[in-house]
Structure 1
Amino acid sequence: MIDIHCHILPCVDDGPKTLAESLDLARLAETEGITKIIATPHHQHPSFMNSGYEVVRKVEELNDAFKQDGIGVTVIPSQEVRLHGEIIQHLELGDVLPLTPEGSYILIEFPTNSIPRYATRLFYELKLKGLTPIIAHPERNKVIVEDPDILYDFVKDGVLTQVTAASVTGHLGKKLMKFTDQLIEANLTHFIASDAHNGTERPFRLREAYSAVEGRFGIEMVYQLQENAELLINQQHVQVWPPEPIRRKKRFFGLL
């Protein structure tokens, strides 16, 4: 399996605090059947800054440590980039990285409680540059939960999304699991990734998530989501299915 969103680099954000913790997380990845991980430390986050050049250097060091320890996992450098107005300039300077070297996808994070007004325009400009935004964990954004049509409009315009494995499995709550199911059913997401930070509170859960998807949507959906991760890592165009708006139940007298 391939994990396109993981905080496995040590000492850079709210992921592992030591190299030993990163090694433990990589061993856990092996038990899940994960062979490739895209390292996505937070960048341009209010609490964390991880420039592209530093991420590339630290990923090289981590891969060397994995080889020395006999860990069969390969790490690819990237970032989880908080949306900001200078992304395109920073991409050109190498401060912001696509999800694969010289790739055409970029992982974008919104603030938890908002979506910047300039997001639509910036996504359009990124696409003009040949870069497709992938919105990280949209199911955890308050604005999207309250109005899923916002996400529908993004996806209709060519933006992709990635949901978190723990959202699929229900570890983040039943309401969030139900909403994530709605996103999958409406073709409003294209990847499942772990967003793993450690081996305890925020582990991978990818295998469990794919098992849940198989149980609720069938094996074909599992194949489609897994293949998209393969296509992305190989710098090919991912599969996109026609999105549908999420149909909400009408309210009567203020009640569902």
Structure 2
Amino acid sequence: MIDIHCHLLNGIDDGPKELVDSLIMARQAVDQGYTDVIATPHHLKGRFSNPGDEVRKRVEDLNTKLVEENIPLVVHPGQEVRLHGEMLENLANGSVLTLADSKYILIEFPTESVPFFAQELFFNLQMKGYIPIIAHPERNVEIRKNYEVLYRLVEGGALAQLTWGSFAGVLGKKIKKFSDQLLEANLVHFMATDAHFYEGRSMEVDQAVQSLKQNIGVEQADLLLENARLVLQNEQIDFDEPTEIKKRFFLF
């Protein structure tokens, strides 16, 4: 498997603090079946600023250490970029990175809202050949209140990444239910760990993977997981048109 959203690099954001913690996470990833991980430290989120050159150097150093430790995992450079108006300029100067040097870029919205300029910026990114991937939309308050915000962005060509922990119910029943609804409405294109440590928000996904296959079927789940490999190979991702979220009524 491939993980496109993971805070594996130590000491640069709210992920692991020490190198030993990163190595434990890497071994955990291998145990779960991962062969490649795209490191996505926060960039331009609060106090966290991790420009492209710094991320590349840290990824190179970690890969060297993984070889020394005989851990069969390859780490690729990326960022979880907070949405900002100068994104095109920062992509051009290299301070903002795409995922593994592909055309795909992982973008995070503020927790409570979707900035008003998001749709226009996404359009401009796509006109330059980039494909926005929205990080964990199931956790965004505005999207949970009005899923059509996400629907319009996906209909316009953006993709969305659901977190395994949200799907597994780690963040509560409401986010779990909304995650299921997004999957059913074809508003999810990637599953990722968003792991920050080897405990809690970790790389352990085996049970969630099995649950996903039971919920949406093995074939559909495998296609969803394969999309991460297509990102790594910088290939086009085909996906079904999004649909309306079905409202269910229960009689007691």
Shorter-chain TM-score: which interval? over 0.9
The equivalent of 1:121 in structure 2 is 120
The equivalent of 2:46 in structure 1 is 46
Provide the TM-score with structure 1 as the length reference: 0.95
The equivalent of 2:144 in structure 1 is 145
Provide the TM-score with structure 2 as the length reference: 0.97
CA deviation vs aligned residue, 1:137-175 (integer Å, no higher than 9, x gap) = 000000000000111111111000000000111111111
CA RMSD of aligned residues (A): 1.0
Q: Distance in 2 between matches of 1:77 and 1:86?
A: 20
The equivalent of 1:253 in structure 2 is none
Task: Map 1:57-136 to 2 at 5 A.
Answer: 57-101=57-101, 103-136=102-135
Q: Distance in 1 between matches of 2:155 and 2:207?
A: 29
The equivalent of 1:165 in structure 2 is 164
Whichever residue aligns with residue 125 of structure 1, its letter is N
Q: Distance in 1 between matches of 2:13 and 2:63?
A: 18
The equivalent of 2:30 in structure 1 is 30
1:249: how far off? Answer: 5.0
CA deviation vs aligned residue, 1:13-72 (integer Å, no higher than 9, x gap) = 000101010001101111101110000000010120000010000000000010000100
- Quick one: percent identity of the two aligned structures? 47
Q: Distance in 2 between matches of 1:18 and 1:233?
A: 27
Conserved? CA contact 1:165–1:205, under 8 Å: no
Q: Secondary structure of the equivalent of 1:5?
A: strand
170-179 or 120-129, larger mean C-alpha shift: 170-179
Conserved? CA contact 1:149–1:246, under 8 Å: no
Q: Distance in 1 between matches of 2:107 and 2:154?
A: 14
**Which structure 1 residue ranges, 5 or more long, are not aligned?**
251-256
The reply on whether 1:178 has 2:177 as its aligned counterpart is yes
The equivalent of 1:7 in structure 2 is 7
CA deviation vs aligned residue, 1:80-124 (integer Å, no higher than 9, x gap) = 0000000000000000001122x1110000000011110010000
Q: Secondary structure of the equivalent of 1:231?
A: helix
Whichever residue aligns with residue 143 of structure 2, its letter is I
Q: Distance in 2 between matches of 1:22 and 1:183?
A: 31
Whichever residue aligns with residue 12 of structure 2, its letter is V
The equivalent of 1:190 in structure 2 is 189
Whichever residue aligns with residue 89 of structure 1, its letter is E
Q: Secondary structure of the equivalent of 2:100?
A: coil
**Which structure 2 residue ranges, 5 or more long, are not aligned?**
none
Over 4 Å off, 4+ runs: none
Q: Secondary structure of the equivalent of 1:100?
A: helix
Conserved? CA contact 2:136–2:163, under 8 Å: yes
Q: Distance in 1 between matches of 2:40 and 2:220?
A: 25
1:238: how far off? Answer: 1.4
Q: Distance in 2 between matches of 1:14 and 1:217?
A: 32
Conserved? CA contact 1:10–1:19, under 8 Å: yes
Conserved? CA contact 1:52–1:94, under 8 Å: yes
